[in-house]
Amino acid sequence: MKLLQPNEMVDSIYDINLSSLKAKGIKGIITDMDNTLLAWHSSEITPTAAQWVNEVRQADLKIAIVSNNSPARVEELSAQLGVICIAKAVKPRRSAFRSIAAQFNLSPQEMAVVGDQLFTDVLGGNRAGMYTILVNPISKHEFIGTKIMRLLEKLFLQR
């Protein structure tokens, strides 16, 4: 059950305190794409999202995108932001998170995982030994499987 508990819960990526993350020894961030960085299935990067990615870089933190979504879209959007990515990551599997940490030459303890889903982002990040941050999903419109997961998440968080 501890593996389903995020270290932090914030409203959105814009509420993440980057300097306090750095004070905790975090040197890199892995962010989810859908409903975390962008609205679900949106194919456009908003100026605010792009600005946030720049703020992360300016704070001297590395940043990468790890998504379970299809490569075509994830890779295109990541390229637009100039960040490395792994698509079809099969979160909560640990391999994508570990691969990014290895590419950054950072240990899991130096990495934070940001996402809107307990059963993929938080579970996967915790399993990989990383610091986990749960955000509220940007949009309500989503895949039915995700909706069922949300319901389970709600039940879990209420406990």
Binding residues for Mg ion, per CB under 5 A?
A: 32, 34-35, 116
Give the residue with the Cβ less far from Mg ion, 116 or 153.
Answer: 116
In the complex, minimum distance from the CB of residue 105 to Mg ion, in angstroms, rounded to a whole number? 26
Structure tokens belonging to residue 39: 């609205």
**Cβ count within 10 A of residue 121:** 29
Give the residue with the Cβ less far from Mg ion, 27 or 83.
Answer: 83
Give the residue with the Cβ less far from Mg ion, 27 or 111.
Answer: 111
Q: Given strand 28-31, what is the order of strands in its sheet?
A: 8-10, 131-135, 111-115, 28-31, 62-66, 84-86
In the complex, minimum distance from the CB of residue 118 to Mg ion, in angstroms, rounded to a whole number? 11
In the complex, minimum distance from the CB of residue 23 to Mg ion, in angstroms, rounded to a whole number? 27
The answer for residues whose C-beta is within 8 angstroms of residue 123's C-beta and 6 or more apart is 3, 4, 91, 92
Residue pair 62/27 in contact by the 8 Å Cβ criterion? yes
In the complex, minimum distance from the CB of residue 93 to Mg ion, in angstroms, rounded to a whole number? 15
Give the residue with the Cβ less far from Mg ion, 35 or 132.
Answer: 35
